[in-house]
Amino acid sequence: MTRLRASLVNGVALADRAREEAFPERLRLGSGEMKSGGHRRDSILADAYEAVVAAVYLDGGWDACREAVRARFGAAVEAAPRRTEKDPKTRLQELLQSEGLPLPTYELVASRGEEHARVFEAQCRIEAYSICTAGEGSSRRAAEQIAAPRRSTS
């Protein structure tokens, strides 16, 4: 259930849902955020979506909030596979732990681009196998996921 929840309720998924519900057009942001494309930024959209859910809870109580969330996420929960794929970092960690080896280390190597379109570069080091892999993504976490080796390291 945790991976299912994480696949539906994460920054990217909430930002996508906010876009579906026209949040970018409805957000009131400061001039600096507007100029830098804040209404397109996943983190702002996800935070705004969470704030609206919290407001429904505070204003209407648990039952109203549950109904609102079910109306918006019910179909996605039903359509989701019962077993969700583990992300590369989790698979790698579980593999190393099963072999009694130290966990990998991740390092942010660089970031480039404008604030609203940043690209992050990360490295994943697995000392036990003398492996260092790299990845790029639109967030530090995405870059680390891409850097984590996708195949067994043995």
d(CA 54, CA 67) in angstroms, rounded, equals 13
Predicted local confidence at residue 60, as pLDDT: 97
Query: Tell me, what CATH number does 129's domain have?
Result: 3.30.160.20
Do 51 and 69 fall within a single domain?
A: yes
Q: Which domain-ending residue is among 34, 50, 79?
A: 79
pLDDT tens-digit series, residues 51-93: 999 999 999 999 999 999 999 988 888 877 766 578 899 889 9
Q: Which residues contact 3 (CB under 8 A, 6 or more apart)?
A: 84, 86
Q: Is the pLDDT of residue 3 over 90?
A: no
Predicted local confidence at residue 6, as pLDDT: 75
Q: What is the mean pLDDT of the chain?
A: 88
Residue 154 lies in a domain: no
Do 28 and 62 fall within a single domain?
A: yes
- Closest C-alpha to 111, from 131, 136, 128: 136
Do 69 and 112 fall within a single domain?
A: no
Predicted local confidence at residue 107, as pLDDT: 96
pTM (2 d.p.): 0.52
Do 99 and 66 fall within a single domain?
A: no
